Structure 1
Amino acid sequence: MSKLLSKITITVVAIAISTFGTFYLTSTSKGNNTVNSSNLAIANDNHESATLVSVWDKETEPDYLGTKEMTVYRSPSCGCCGVWVEHALKHGFKVEDLKTEEMEALKQKHNIPPELASCHTTIIDGYVMEGHIPADDIKRFLTEKPQLAGLAVPGMPIGTPGMEAQDIKQPFQVLAFNDKGEVEVFKEYQSY
Protein backbone atom coordinates (compact mmCIF):
# COMPACT_ATOMS: atom_id res chain seq x y z
CA MET A 1 0.00 0.00 0.00
CA SER A 2 2.88 2.33 0.87
CA LYS A 3 4.51 1.86 -2.55
CA LEU A 4 1.19 2.50 -4.31
CA LEU A 5 0.61 5.68 -2.29
CA SER A 6 4.18 6.80 -3.02
CA LYS A 7 3.69 6.18 -6.76
CA ILE A 8 0.38 8.07 -6.79
CA THR A 9 1.87 11.00 -4.84
CA ILE A 10 4.88 11.28 -7.17
CA THR A 11 2.62 11.14 -10.23
CA VAL A 12 0.23 13.82 -8.93
CA VAL A 13 3.08 16.13 -7.90
CA ALA A 14 4.85 15.64 -11.25
CA ILE A 15 1.70 16.44 -13.22
CA ALA A 16 0.89 19.50 -11.12
CA ILE A 17 4.38 20.96 -11.26
CA SER A 18 4.94 20.26 -14.94
CA THR A 19 1.58 21.79 -15.81
CA PHE A 20 2.38 24.92 -13.82
CA GLY A 21 6.09 25.18 -14.54
CA THR A 22 6.62 23.96 -18.05
CA PHE A 23 4.01 25.91 -20.00
CA TYR A 24 2.89 29.48 -19.44
CA LEU A 25 1.48 32.36 -21.44
CA THR A 26 3.39 35.53 -22.19
CA SER A 27 2.47 38.50 -24.32
CA THR A 28 4.53 39.48 -27.31
CA SER A 29 5.12 43.07 -28.33
CA LYS A 30 2.21 42.83 -30.80
CA GLY A 31 -0.13 41.61 -28.07
CA ASN A 32 -0.36 38.06 -29.43
CA ASN A 33 -0.13 35.23 -26.94
CA THR A 34 2.78 32.86 -27.23
CA VAL A 35 3.01 29.60 -25.34
CA ASN A 36 6.60 29.12 -24.25
CA SER A 37 8.03 25.86 -23.01
CA SER A 38 11.00 27.01 -20.96
CA ASN A 39 13.83 28.11 -23.27
CA LEU A 40 12.43 26.53 -26.43
CA ALA A 41 10.84 28.78 -29.01
CA ILE A 42 7.33 27.97 -30.20
CA ALA A 43 5.80 29.92 -33.06
CA ASN A 44 2.96 32.30 -32.23
CA ASP A 45 -0.06 33.25 -34.37
CA ASN A 46 2.08 35.23 -36.86
CA HIS A 47 4.62 32.39 -37.31
CA GLU A 48 7.22 34.45 -35.49
CA SER A 49 9.08 32.89 -32.61
CA ALA A 50 10.14 34.06 -29.20
CA THR A 51 13.22 32.61 -27.56
CA LEU A 52 13.73 32.80 -23.85
CA VAL A 53 17.25 33.03 -22.53
CA SER A 54 17.87 30.49 -19.81
CA VAL A 55 20.09 31.05 -16.81
CA TRP A 56 21.35 27.52 -17.56
CA ASP A 57 22.52 28.36 -21.12
CA LYS A 58 25.90 29.62 -19.89
CA GLU A 59 28.37 26.76 -19.89
CA THR A 60 30.77 26.86 -16.95
CA GLU A 61 32.63 23.63 -17.80
CA PRO A 62 33.68 24.30 -21.44
CA ASP A 63 36.88 22.21 -21.18
CA TYR A 64 35.05 19.02 -20.21
CA LEU A 65 36.55 16.06 -22.06
CA GLY A 66 34.75 13.19 -20.33
CA THR A 67 31.91 10.94 -21.42
CA LYS A 68 29.26 12.71 -23.46
CA GLU A 69 26.93 9.84 -24.39
CA MET A 70 23.93 9.53 -22.10
CA THR A 71 20.65 7.66 -22.14
CA VAL A 72 17.61 9.48 -20.81
CA TYR A 73 14.54 7.49 -19.79
CA ARG A 74 11.28 9.38 -19.47
CA SER A 75 7.53 9.07 -19.72
CA PRO A 76 6.18 9.73 -23.23
CA SER A 77 3.94 12.47 -21.84
CA CYS A 78 6.61 14.39 -19.90
CA GLY A 79 7.19 17.79 -21.52
CA CYS A 80 9.69 19.10 -18.97
CA CYS A 81 11.88 16.03 -19.56
CA GLY A 82 12.12 16.94 -23.24
CA VAL A 83 13.18 20.46 -22.30
CA TRP A 84 15.86 19.00 -20.01
CA VAL A 85 17.10 16.86 -22.93
CA GLU A 86 17.47 20.08 -24.97
CA HIS A 87 19.49 21.54 -22.06
CA ALA A 88 21.83 18.53 -22.12
CA LEU A 89 22.24 18.80 -25.90
CA LYS A 90 23.12 22.51 -25.63
CA HIS A 91 25.91 21.54 -23.24
CA GLY A 92 27.49 19.08 -25.66
CA PHE A 93 26.00 15.79 -24.51
CA LYS A 94 24.87 13.19 -27.03
CA VAL A 95 21.47 11.99 -25.85
CA GLU A 96 19.62 8.78 -26.54
CA ASP A 97 16.08 9.79 -25.52
CA LEU A 98 14.01 6.72 -24.61
CA LYS A 99 10.34 7.04 -23.73
CA THR A 100 8.89 4.35 -21.48
CA GLU A 101 5.86 3.70 -19.29
CA GLU A 102 8.04 1.65 -16.90
CA MET A 103 9.71 4.50 -14.99
CA GLU A 104 9.10 3.10 -11.50
CA ALA A 105 10.64 -0.27 -12.41
CA LEU A 106 13.61 1.52 -14.00
CA LYS A 107 14.19 3.57 -10.82
CA GLN A 108 14.05 0.40 -8.72
CA LYS A 109 16.47 -1.38 -11.08
CA HIS A 110 18.99 1.44 -10.59
CA ASN A 111 18.45 1.62 -6.80
CA ILE A 112 17.24 5.20 -6.80
CA PRO A 113 15.93 5.94 -3.29
CA PRO A 114 12.22 6.90 -3.51
CA GLU A 115 12.87 10.21 -1.73
CA LEU A 116 15.26 11.19 -4.55
CA ALA A 117 12.88 10.35 -7.39
CA SER A 118 12.03 12.79 -10.15
CA CYS A 119 10.44 12.55 -13.58
CA HIS A 120 13.35 11.28 -15.69
CA THR A 121 16.40 9.09 -15.16
CA THR A 122 19.68 9.42 -17.03
CA ILE A 123 22.45 6.83 -17.25
CA ILE A 124 25.92 8.08 -18.18
CA ASP A 125 29.29 6.37 -17.73
CA GLY A 126 27.76 3.87 -15.29
CA TYR A 127 26.29 6.60 -13.08
CA VAL A 128 22.63 7.41 -12.44
CA MET A 129 21.47 11.02 -12.84
CA GLU A 130 17.95 11.55 -11.52
CA GLY A 131 15.89 14.59 -12.45
CA HIS A 132 16.60 18.16 -13.49
CA ILE A 133 20.34 18.32 -12.75
CA PRO A 134 22.26 21.21 -14.34
CA ALA A 135 24.54 19.85 -17.09
CA ASP A 136 27.62 21.50 -15.61
CA ASP A 137 27.08 19.63 -12.32
CA ILE A 138 26.97 16.36 -14.27
CA LYS A 139 30.24 17.32 -16.00
CA ARG A 140 31.92 18.16 -12.67
CA PHE A 141 30.70 14.89 -11.13
CA LEU A 142 31.98 12.84 -14.09
CA THR A 143 35.34 14.64 -13.99
CA GLU A 144 35.74 13.80 -10.29
CA LYS A 145 34.54 10.17 -10.81
CA PRO A 146 33.55 9.67 -7.16
CA GLN A 147 32.74 6.26 -5.71
CA LEU A 148 29.03 7.09 -5.67
CA ALA A 149 25.96 5.85 -7.56
CA GLY A 150 25.04 9.25 -8.97
CA LEU A 151 23.30 12.59 -8.53
CA ALA A 152 19.69 13.60 -8.02
CA VAL A 153 17.49 16.67 -7.91
CA PRO A 154 14.42 15.25 -6.14
CA GLY A 155 10.99 16.28 -7.31
CA MET A 156 10.71 18.98 -9.93
CA PRO A 157 11.84 22.33 -8.46
CA ILE A 158 10.69 25.33 -10.47
CA GLY A 159 13.69 27.09 -12.03
CA THR A 160 15.85 24.02 -12.61
CA PRO A 161 16.83 23.17 -16.21
CA GLY A 162 13.65 22.10 -17.96
CA MET A 163 11.43 23.51 -15.21
CA GLU A 164 11.93 27.21 -15.82
CA ALA A 165 8.94 29.49 -15.37
CA GLN A 166 9.76 33.13 -16.04
CA ASP A 167 11.40 34.59 -12.91
CA ILE A 168 10.36 31.87 -10.45
CA LYS A 169 13.44 30.15 -9.04
CA GLN A 170 13.03 27.78 -6.11
CA PRO A 171 16.14 26.98 -4.08
CA PHE A 172 17.25 23.40 -4.66
CA GLN A 173 20.04 20.96 -3.95
CA VAL A 174 21.86 18.56 -6.21
CA LEU A 175 22.33 15.49 -4.04
CA ALA A 176 24.94 12.75 -4.42
CA PHE A 177 23.99 9.24 -3.33
CA ASN A 178 25.66 5.86 -3.00
CA ASP A 179 24.44 2.29 -3.52
CA LYS A 180 23.34 2.09 0.13
CA GLY A 181 21.03 5.10 -0.28
CA GLU A 182 23.23 7.42 1.76
CA VAL A 183 22.89 11.01 0.58
CA GLU A 184 25.09 14.11 0.71
CA VAL A 185 24.80 17.59 -0.80
CA PHE A 186 26.83 17.90 -4.01
CA LYS A 187 25.81 21.51 -4.78
CA GLU A 188 23.24 23.91 -3.40
CA TYR A 189 21.42 26.61 -5.36
CA GLN A 190 19.85 29.35 -3.24
CA SER A 191 19.88 32.14 -5.82
CA TYR A 192 20.80 31.66 -9.45
Structure 2
Amino acid sequence: MYKRFSDWMSKLPRYLLAVIVTTGVVATAYITFNLMSQGENVTASNHLQVLASNSTSLLNVSVWDQQTESYSGTRDVKVYRSPACTCCGNWIKHIQKHGFKIQADIKTDEMEAIKQKYNLPPDLASCHTAIIDGYVMEGHIPADDIKLFLQQQPQLAGLAVPGMAIGTPGMESGNTKQPFTVMEFNHQGEVQIFKKYQSY
Protein backbone atom coordinates (compact mmCIF):
# COMPACT_ATOMS: atom_id res chain seq x y z
CA MET A 1 0.00 0.00 0.00
CA TYR A 2 2.76 2.46 0.94
CA LYS A 3 4.54 1.76 -2.34
CA ARG A 4 1.39 2.45 -4.38
CA PHE A 5 0.76 5.66 -2.44
CA SER A 6 4.35 6.87 -2.95
CA ASP A 7 4.12 6.00 -6.65
CA TRP A 8 0.92 8.04 -6.90
CA MET A 9 2.50 10.99 -5.06
CA SER A 10 5.57 10.89 -7.29
CA LYS A 11 3.39 11.29 -10.39
CA LEU A 12 1.75 14.49 -9.12
CA PRO A 13 3.06 17.80 -10.49
CA ARG A 14 5.38 19.49 -7.98
CA TYR A 15 3.15 22.56 -7.54
CA LEU A 16 0.12 20.36 -6.73
CA LEU A 17 2.14 18.31 -4.26
CA ALA A 18 3.29 21.54 -2.59
CA VAL A 19 -0.33 22.73 -2.27
CA ILE A 20 -1.43 19.42 -0.70
CA VAL A 21 1.43 19.36 1.80
CA THR A 22 1.07 23.06 2.68
CA THR A 23 -2.69 22.77 3.13
CA GLY A 24 -2.29 19.77 5.41
CA VAL A 25 0.36 21.51 7.52
CA VAL A 26 -1.69 24.71 7.85
CA ALA A 27 -4.87 22.80 8.72
CA THR A 28 -3.06 20.69 11.31
CA ALA A 29 -1.40 23.75 12.85
CA TYR A 30 -4.72 25.61 12.97
CA ILE A 31 -6.58 22.75 14.65
CA THR A 32 -3.74 22.12 17.12
CA PHE A 33 -3.56 25.82 18.05
CA ASN A 34 -7.32 25.91 18.66
CA LEU A 35 -7.23 22.77 20.79
CA MET A 36 -4.37 24.11 22.90
CA SER A 37 -6.08 27.48 23.34
CA GLN A 38 -9.13 25.61 24.63
CA GLY A 39 -6.99 23.87 27.24
CA GLU A 40 -6.87 20.55 25.42
CA ASN A 41 -3.98 18.38 26.64
CA VAL A 42 -2.13 17.77 23.36
CA THR A 43 1.02 15.65 23.67
CA ALA A 44 3.22 13.95 21.10
CA SER A 45 1.70 10.56 21.93
CA ASN A 46 -1.96 11.61 21.66
CA HIS A 47 -1.64 14.32 18.99
CA LEU A 48 -3.34 12.37 16.16
CA GLN A 49 -6.00 10.95 18.46
CA VAL A 50 -6.91 14.41 19.78
CA LEU A 51 -6.97 15.83 16.24
CA ALA A 52 -9.25 13.06 15.03
CA SER A 53 -11.72 13.46 17.88
CA ASN A 54 -11.89 17.26 17.76
CA SER A 55 -11.23 18.42 14.21
CA THR A 56 -14.79 17.71 13.06
CA SER A 57 -16.34 19.88 15.77
CA LEU A 58 -13.85 22.67 15.12
CA LEU A 59 -14.54 22.74 11.40
CA ASN A 60 -18.34 22.56 11.85
CA VAL A 61 -18.84 25.56 14.12
CA SER A 62 -22.36 26.96 13.82
CA VAL A 63 -22.82 30.44 12.36
CA TRP A 64 -24.96 31.15 15.44
CA ASP A 65 -22.12 30.51 17.93
CA GLN A 66 -20.51 33.90 17.28
CA GLN A 67 -21.75 36.49 19.76
CA THR A 68 -22.52 39.99 18.45
CA GLU A 69 -24.63 41.31 21.32
CA SER A 70 -23.62 41.76 24.96
CA TYR A 71 -26.17 41.35 27.72
CA SER A 72 -25.84 41.64 31.49
CA GLY A 73 -29.44 41.13 32.60
CA THR A 74 -31.43 38.10 33.72
CA ARG A 75 -30.20 34.90 32.10
CA ASP A 76 -32.46 32.32 33.75
CA VAL A 77 -34.61 30.45 31.24
CA LYS A 78 -37.61 28.19 31.67
CA VAL A 79 -38.20 26.00 28.61
CA TYR A 80 -41.33 24.02 27.76
CA ARG A 81 -40.93 21.38 25.04
CA SER A 82 -42.32 18.10 23.78
CA PRO A 83 -40.54 14.97 25.09
CA ALA A 84 -40.18 13.79 21.49
CA CYS A 85 -38.49 16.96 20.21
CA THR A 86 -34.72 16.82 19.63
CA CYS A 87 -34.24 20.17 17.86
CA CYS A 88 -35.48 21.94 21.02
CA GLY A 89 -32.52 20.46 22.89
CA ASN A 90 -30.18 21.77 20.20
CA TRP A 91 -31.65 25.27 20.61
CA ILE A 92 -31.13 25.00 24.38
CA LYS A 93 -27.44 24.21 23.78
CA HIS A 94 -27.28 27.25 21.48
CA ILE A 95 -28.54 29.72 24.08
CA GLN A 96 -26.36 28.14 26.76
CA LYS A 97 -23.33 28.96 24.60
CA HIS A 98 -24.45 32.59 24.86
CA GLY A 99 -24.52 32.49 28.66
CA PHE A 100 -28.18 31.72 29.34
CA LYS A 101 -28.88 29.33 32.21
CA ILE A 102 -31.63 26.73 32.01
CA GLN A 103 -33.59 27.11 35.23
CA ALA A 104 -36.15 24.51 34.19
CA ASP A 105 -36.40 22.20 31.17
CA ILE A 106 -39.99 21.01 31.26
CA LYS A 107 -40.93 18.21 28.88
CA THR A 108 -44.69 18.06 28.42
CA ASP A 109 -47.32 16.82 26.00
CA GLU A 110 -49.44 19.88 26.80
CA MET A 111 -47.60 22.35 24.58
CA GLU A 112 -50.77 23.86 23.12
CA ALA A 113 -52.06 24.66 26.61
CA ILE A 114 -48.69 26.27 27.49
CA LYS A 115 -48.88 28.52 24.42
CA GLN A 116 -52.43 29.53 25.31
CA LYS A 117 -51.39 30.25 28.90
CA TYR A 118 -48.82 32.77 27.67
CA ASN A 119 -51.19 34.27 25.04
CA LEU A 120 -49.00 33.34 22.11
CA PRO A 121 -50.68 34.29 18.81
CA PRO A 122 -51.45 30.94 17.07
CA ASP A 123 -49.74 32.03 13.83
CA LEU A 124 -46.43 32.37 15.69
CA ALA A 125 -46.35 28.87 17.16
CA SER A 126 -43.24 26.71 16.94
CA CYS A 127 -41.99 23.61 18.76
CA HIS A 128 -40.86 25.03 22.11
CA THR A 129 -41.77 27.96 24.37
CA ALA A 130 -39.25 29.64 26.67
CA ILE A 131 -39.77 32.28 29.34
CA ILE A 132 -36.93 34.74 30.01
CA ASP A 133 -37.36 37.68 32.41
CA GLY A 134 -41.14 37.47 31.97
CA TYR A 135 -40.97 37.54 28.16
CA VAL A 136 -42.15 34.73 25.89
CA MET A 137 -39.52 33.40 23.47
CA GLU A 138 -41.13 31.05 20.94
CA GLY A 139 -39.18 28.77 18.63
CA HIS A 140 -35.68 28.87 17.21
CA ILE A 141 -34.77 32.49 17.91
CA PRO A 142 -31.06 33.40 17.62
CA ALA A 143 -29.62 34.17 21.07
CA ASP A 144 -28.25 37.53 19.93
CA ASP A 145 -31.78 38.65 18.98
CA ILE A 146 -33.01 37.62 22.42
CA LYS A 147 -30.21 39.62 24.07
CA LEU A 148 -30.96 42.70 21.94
CA PHE A 149 -34.67 42.45 22.76
CA LEU A 150 -34.00 42.05 26.50
CA GLN A 151 -31.62 45.02 26.51
CA GLN A 152 -34.44 47.21 25.22
CA GLN A 153 -36.95 45.98 27.83
CA PRO A 154 -39.86 46.81 25.52
CA GLN A 155 -43.52 46.90 26.55
CA LEU A 156 -44.11 43.76 24.51
CA ALA A 157 -44.94 40.12 25.25
CA GLY A 158 -42.01 38.55 23.44
CA LEU A 159 -40.40 37.24 20.26
CA ALA A 160 -41.13 34.30 17.98
CA VAL A 161 -39.75 32.46 14.98
CA PRO A 162 -42.86 30.72 13.60
CA GLY A 163 -42.57 27.17 12.33
CA MET A 164 -39.24 25.38 12.12
CA ALA A 165 -37.10 26.91 9.37
CA ILE A 166 -34.05 24.87 8.37
CA GLY A 167 -30.87 26.75 9.29
CA THR A 168 -32.17 28.48 12.41
CA PRO A 169 -30.31 27.79 15.71
CA GLY A 170 -30.94 24.15 16.58
CA MET A 171 -32.30 23.40 13.10
CA GLU A 172 -29.00 23.44 11.18
CA SER A 173 -28.72 21.01 8.27
CA GLY A 174 -25.45 21.42 6.38
CA ASN A 175 -25.54 24.33 3.94
CA THR A 176 -29.35 24.41 3.71
CA LYS A 177 -30.56 27.77 5.05
CA GLN A 178 -34.14 28.91 4.66
CA PRO A 179 -34.99 32.61 5.03
CA PHE A 180 -36.84 33.33 8.26
CA THR A 181 -38.23 36.24 10.24
CA VAL A 182 -38.09 36.96 13.96
CA MET A 183 -41.43 38.47 14.97
CA GLU A 184 -42.26 40.56 18.02
CA PHE A 185 -45.75 40.61 19.55
CA ASN A 186 -47.56 42.55 22.25
CA HIS A 187 -50.05 41.51 24.93
CA GLN A 188 -52.97 42.22 22.61
CA GLY A 189 -51.65 39.73 20.05
CA GLU A 190 -50.50 42.38 17.58
CA VAL A 191 -47.47 41.28 15.57
CA GLN A 192 -44.69 43.04 13.68
CA ILE A 193 -41.24 42.23 12.28
CA PHE A 194 -38.27 42.35 14.66
CA LYS A 195 -35.62 41.11 12.23
CA LYS A 196 -35.45 39.37 8.85
CA TYR A 197 -32.85 36.79 7.82
CA GLN A 198 -32.63 36.40 4.05
CA SER A 199 -29.04 35.11 3.98
CA TYR A 200 -26.77 34.25 6.89
TM-score bucket (shorter structure): 0.7 to 0.9
1:180 Cα deviation from its structure 2 partner: 1.2
Distance 2:65 2:164 in 1: 19
Pick aligned residue for 1:93 from 81, 97, 100: 100
Gaps of 5+ in 2: 1-51
AA of the residue aligned to 1:163: M
The structure that is helix-richer by fraction is: 2
What whole-Å deviation, never above 9, does each CA across 1:87-117 have from its counterpart, x for those lacking one?
0100000012111111000000000111000
Which has the greater radius of gyration? 2
Matched to 1:94, the amino acid is: K
State the AA in 1 paired with 2:80. Answer: Y
| CA drift at 1:179 | 1.2
Secondary structure at the residue paired with 2:67?
A: coil
* Map of 1:18 onto structure 2: none
Distance 1:179 1:64 in 2: 24
Q: Which amino acid aligns with 2:65?
A: D
User: Sequence identity, in percent?
Assistant: 68
Letter of the 2:61 partner, please give it: V
CA distance in 2: counterparts of 1:168 and 1:162, whole angstroms: 13
Residue number in structure 2 paired with 1:74: 81
Is residue 153–residue 173 contact of structure 1 (8 Å, CA) maintained in 2? yes
Which residue is equivalent to 1:169?
Answer: 177
Whole-Å separation in 1 of the counterparts to 2:127 and 2:110: 12
Moved over 6 A (4+): none
For residue 149 of structure 2, the aligned residue among 141, 145, 168 is: 141
What one-letter code is carried by the residue in structure 1 that aligns with 2:198? Q
- Root-mean-square deviation (CA, aligned residues, Å) is 1.2
Contact residue 173 and residue 186 of structure 1 kept, 8 A: yes
Alignment gaps of 5+ in structure 1: 1-46
| Aligned length in residues | 145
SS of residue paired to 2:65:
coil
CA distance in 2, matches of 1:155, 1:186: 16
Give TM-score, length-normalised by structure 2: 0.70
Cα shift readout 1:23-80 (whole Å, capped 9, x = no counterpart): xxxxxxxxxxxxxxxxxxxxxxxx946322101010111x310110010110011000
Q: Tell me if structure 2 keeps the 8 A contact 1:131–1:153.
A: yes
Could you tell me whether the CA contact under 8 Å between 1:128 and 1:149 is conserved in 2?
yes
Amino acid corresponding to residue 182 of structure 1 in structure 2: E
The whole-number CA distance in structure 2 between the counterparts of 1:90 and 1:98 is 20
- In terms of fraction of residues, the more strand-rich structure is 1
Partner of 1:184: 192
**After superposition, where does 1:20-169 map in structure 2 within 5 Å?**
48=53, 50-51=56-57, 52-61=60-69, 63-95=70-102, 96-169=104-177
Structure with larger RCO (C-alpha < 8 A, sep 6+):
1
